[in-house]
């Protein structure tokens, strides 16, 4: 979803608590830092708990991602005053060719890095990465599969991508999107100027929901900023959303094969609500209370499930819809500098 620009009120969570059992969608997975190591990199940790389905699912997907040679290739750098920008090409899950844009301050060493994740039907805008580079970050804005310049090997289009392979969780579009983000983190580990202990995620809409999920399954993430995040309590959000990719799911469920159980069995893997109890990285979430594309009720229900011991903060914009919240990027910079 492309976000428009634009009042925001700061609201620190006054009561932080864990909802251990809810009648809507509990999958009993556990992400633990001392659990089995995922095969993608030694720094990653696996999924352990009462739902072996989740553990097995993600360990297999990450193993399959590891089997694909990333082959990172960078185009000639372009000097843009105090920063340098360049296009990056690489391979992701399923050997899909992907593109990203890297921007960084000139002559920087041991710098923090931020992976920028865009919304549905949008792309990794160079101006976005350049903004963060001027803040002092090594910034990488990727075009996840089916978006921007990452459409050579995979291009179901819009509408279409949201429900592509939705009955096949292994090959479902948004599983690939999440794995594309993880490959973006892999890229930072190849850059000598990056402090790999300070890798941050910032995403909006689909990118915000993806960032939340990635932070729960990848130990390399230091902190997260998720703006108007998509993919939060999907079953409940479907009831009230009146625009955006949720409409593709609604339409799909009205047409053959109408296999609702299979659809939701796939969507559970890309619902941040199910990963919330296992998010242990500092996270800031911004919501628009007038957002009818990513309903605030679904986002708030996810936020409430994030453990009280996790540093978390929410910003609410009472009159904002599905937009980039005012001063959101500055809020991100402050959050990352503090964490």
51 DSSP 8-state letter: -
Please say whether the beta carbons of 61 and 170 come within 8 A: yes
User: Tokens 């990465």 identify what position?
Assistant: 129
Upper half-sphere CA count for residue 2 (Cβ side, 13 Å): 8
Q: How many of the other CB atoms lie within 10 Å of CB of 65?
A: 22
**What class has domain 9-338?**
alpha beta
Rounded average pLDDT per 10-residue block, the chain, 339 residues: 49 36 32 31 36 80 98 97 97 98 95 98 98 98 98 98 97 98 98 98 98 96 98 97 97 86 95 95 97 97 97 95 92 97
> Token pair for residue 329?
């990027």
Residue 231 has a pLDDT of 98
State pTM to two decimals. 0.86
Residue 30 has a pLDDT of 36
Element (DSSP H or E) covering residue 78:
strand 78-80
C-alpha of 233 from chain center: 15
> Token pair for residue 299?
């986002």
Residue 122 has a pLDDT of 98
| DSSP per-residue string spanning 103-143 | EEETT--SEEEEEEE--TT----HHHHHHHHHTT-EEEEEE
C-alpha 190/C-alpha 192 separation (Å) is 6
| Residue 123 exposed, middle or buried by CB count within 10 Å (0-12, 13-18, 19+) | buried
Give 79's strand partners. Answer: 84
> Helices (DSSP H) in 137-285: which residue ranges?
173-188, 206-217, 234-240, 246-254, 260-267, 272-275
Closest CA to 92 of 191, 202, 186, 208: 186
Residue 175 has a pLDDT of 98
Judged by DSSP in three states, 228 sits in coil
User: Tokens 């230091």 identify what position?
Assistant: 222
How is the chain split into domains, by residue range? 9-338
Residue 141 has a pLDDT of 98
C-alpha 123/C-alpha 120 separation (Å) is 8
Residue 313 has a pLDDT of 98
């Amino acid at each position: 979803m492309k976000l428009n620009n634009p009042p925001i009120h700061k609201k620190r969570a006054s009561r932080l608590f864990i909802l251990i059992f809810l009648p809507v969608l509990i999958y009993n997975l556990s992400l633990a830092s001392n659990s089995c190591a995922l095969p993608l990199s030694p720094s990653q940790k696996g999924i352990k708990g009462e739902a072996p389905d989740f553990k097995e699912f993600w360990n297999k997907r990450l193993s399959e991602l590891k089997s694909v040679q990333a082959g990172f290739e960078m185009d000639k750098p372009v000097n843009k005053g105090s920063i340098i920008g360049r296009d990056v090409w690489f391979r992701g899950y399923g050997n899909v060719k992907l593109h990203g844009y890297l921007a960084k301050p000139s002559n920087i060493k041991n710098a923090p890095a931020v992976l920028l994740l865009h919304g549905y039907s949008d792309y990794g805008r160079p101006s976005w990465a350049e903004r963060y580079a001027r803040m002092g970050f090594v910034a990488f804005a990727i075009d996840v599969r089916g978006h921007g310049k990452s459409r050579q090997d995979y291009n179901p289009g819009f509408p279409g991508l949201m429900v592509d392979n939705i009955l096949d969780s292994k090959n479902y579009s948004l599983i690939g999107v999440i794995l594309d983000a993880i490959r973006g983190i892999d890229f930072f580990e190849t850059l000598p100027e990056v402090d790999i202990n300070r890798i941050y995620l910032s995403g909006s809409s689909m990118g915000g929901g993806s960032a939340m999920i990635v932070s729960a399954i990848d130990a390399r993430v230091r902190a997260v900023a998720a703006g108007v995040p998509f993919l939060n309590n999907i079953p409940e959000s479907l009831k009230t959303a009146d625009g955006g990719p949720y409409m593709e799911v609604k339409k799909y469920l009205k047409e053959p094969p109408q296999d609702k159980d299979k659809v939701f069995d796939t969507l559970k893997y890309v619902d941040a609500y199910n990963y919330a109890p296992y998010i242990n990285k500092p996270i800031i979430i911004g919501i628009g209370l007038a957002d009818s594309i990513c309903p605030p009720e679904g986002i708030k229900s996810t936020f409430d499930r994030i453990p009280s011991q996790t540093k978390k903060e929410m910003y609410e914009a009472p009159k904002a819809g599905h937009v980039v919240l005012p001063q959101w990027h500055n809020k991100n910079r402050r959050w990352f500098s503090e964490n």
